[in-house]
Amino acid sequence: MKLTTIGIDLAKNVFQVHGVDERGKAVLKKQLKREQMAAFFANLAPCLIGMEACGSAHFWANKLQAMGHTVKLMAPQFVKPYVKTNKNDAADAEAICEAVSRPNMRFVPIKQAEQQAVLALHRARQGFVKARTAQANQIRGLLAEYGIIIPQGIAHIGKRLPEILEDGENGLPGVFRQLIARLGDHLKELDRQAQELEGQIQVWHSENAASRKLAQIPGIGPITASALVASIGNARNFENGRQLAAWLGLVPRQNSSGGKQTLLGISKRGDTYMRTLLIHGARAVIRVAERKAAHAGSWLAGVMGRRNKNVAAVALANKNARIVWALLAQDRDYKADYGLTA
């Protein structure tokens, strides 16, 4: 039995495996438990293995690559058209095996352990930031029921809360004061956790040459730079900067037919977190450009003169994504006057 291509339907405990030979004939249909996976593939000759990019996919990809196999990950939506019958584990494994052998299939870059660790810091920090915002809004809403209005912004809550709790003439019941004090302490703890994780990200950024290189681009700081480096990995997996921008969902959607090109809003595909960081950074650059006459006549000034600020921010984020690809794939340093000297 000479296996050339294998499709694995991943799960928590039970894995479905489908294998074909060089003629495409199915020669393996097997169900494996988690503890059987490593031993089974360690005894196989190196072959092409396809998996969907889902939970634990990067772990198994790295493990199987260490055994000598060639592993490729695919987005689930690209595998779905190859499912011939009703959905089940065996049909999914067969579809994965078929999809991975297609020459025009798009694959997901496999992340290394360090990349996953940095992205885990980002995800945890993002969770604390969301929880901090929700807690601040809850405090503001509860106090509004007693006629106490706090301006928007978490900083205002930290300034106003002590004097509100100490004010004995604002009519707040004792039980409610204790509740607000507890929620205020919880808000401080969430802020402390977010700041600590941000500090760890800053340390990793300062030790990574590629991340420091990206931080030189206007609109990209340590948080965005470290997330980009950890998410992209090897930039040469993308043919050009346009592909990277499309991977981040910063290019227009198309609804073209009959030779008529119809472009819509941005596709918003890919990582929402990465796209958000790039667009927020672009908005910061636009705010600075509005106050400085030095930007007059620049590419950004031209876009801002033709379109509104939101469109200009997305356009700048798209441009920054292409610059990121050029710096990483071609090992260049950022030059602000590159277009003028080229």
What is the reported pTM?
0.86
* Rounded distance between C-alpha atoms, residue 72 and residue 110, angstroms: 8
Beta strand 48-52 with 70-74 is parallel
Burial class (CB in 10 A: 0-12, 13-18, 19+), 151: exposed
SS3 146: coil
**pLDDT tens digit at each of 342 positions of the chain:** 688 999 999 999 999 999 999 888 999 999 999 999 999 999 999 999 999 999 899 999 999 999 999 999 999 999 999 998 888 999 999 999 999 999 999 898 899 889 999 999 999 999 999 999 999 999 999 999 999 999 888 899 989 999 999 888 888 898 999 999 999 999 999 999 999 999 999 999 999 999 999 999 999 999 999 999 999 988 888 889 999 999 999 988 888 888 888 888 888 888 899 999 999 999 999 998 887 765 666 888 888 888 888 999 999 999 999 999 999 999 888 887 776 554
**H/E stretch holding 18:** strand 14-20
End-to-end CA distance of the chain: 57
* Rounded distance between C-alpha atoms, residue 110 and residue 66, angstroms: 13
SS3 266: strand
Distances from the Cα of 83 to the Cα of 53, 73, 102, 109, angstroms: 16, 17, 14, 23
